[in-house]
Structure 1
Amino acid sequence: VLAFVIRQRKENHGIGPGSGQLHAITAARAVALAKASAQVGSLVGGIWLGFLVWLLMQRSDLRAAASDTPGAVVGLLGGVALVAAALWLEYCCRAPIEPPDEAATS
């Protein structure tokens, strides 16, 4: 949700210090949140992936492994979804590319 709000404000030039605008520090905090969320999501997704692989290898020996597999799949999908949302937020927080000043090049 935060990514869509920031993207809309950025497209409408609603980022700035004025009233009703999104402050630039808030966008920078959102980038920090996105970077941390991507790291946590990849860590959690990797843990669930390892657990899922172990469950699939133990499936023939343990009945409990078969019942724990759906939960491991949901955990893995949650980690992947967190990484995807974090990368989308980070993408939406990019600064707009401005053309270079012609006076600076001459």
Structure 2
Amino acid sequence: MSDDICLVLTTCPDRETAERLSAMLVEQRLAACVSAGSEVTSTYPWQGRVECESEIPLTIKTTRARVGALKQELVAHHPYDVPEILVVPVSDGLDEYTQWIRDWIQ
């Protein structure tokens, strides 16, 4: 259903980018909440080399109906050529919290 809750996971190269993207997504009502985590170290292959970089993980709370627009905005405003964007459906949650997400997004 279009009002099903989803988590969208991404990473940012620094705290400033994380804060800028988080504010943009909430202001545009593409997300009800974005949680920025502590710095992590990501190891991954890129252009024939193994890279090891510090990143800030974001957990974005939204609805299925907003995922497409949210992905477009992330791609348009993210500094990475290919940003991590993973969509995780939420099968259950506190009714009052999931309704709060829906109320902000709609």
Task: Give the TM-score of the pair, scaled to structure 1.
Answer: 0.21
Q: Which has the larger radius of gyration?
A: 1
Relative to total residues, which structure has the larger strand share, 1 or 2? Answer: 2
Relative to total residues, which structure has the larger helix share, 1 or 2? Answer: 1
